[in-house]
Amino acid sequence: MASSSVPQLPLPSLLTCRITAKNGEPYTRAHEKVSPKEFVLTIAEGPAALRKIIEKKLEEMVPGQWQPGFAVFLKPSNHAKQKDYVPLVESS
């Protein structure tokens, strides 16, 4: 197997994440409805666990608004523009 030309750093076993809720369609202007909330993700649990945590946190933040078909987007860096957000992929 060929090695990747892009340097990669290993992830820690626990990662502190921040969730924000925005209304509107993905990649469009939207207003934050509530204050962001932080949570800790155990990396080994994988993307499906992350989605479940997000669903639970959003239900706490904006009760009754979450729908199963909603897309979840990840902000790749602290200063990333919305156009650079990436969808959460749960399986390959």
Query: Is 33 domain-assigned?
Result: yes
Q: What is the pLDDT of residues 1-56, one digit of tens each?
A: 556 678 888 889 999 999 888 777 777 777 666 788 999 999 999 888 999 999 99
DSSP letters spanning 51-90? HHHHHHHHHHHSTT---TT---EE-SSTT--GGG-EE---
Query: Is 46 domain-assigned?
Result: yes
Please tell me the total count of domains within the chain.
Answer: 1
pTM of the complete model: 0.71
Banded model confidence at residue 68, pLDDT cuts 50, 70, 90: confident
Q: What range defines the domain where residue 63 resides? A: 14-87
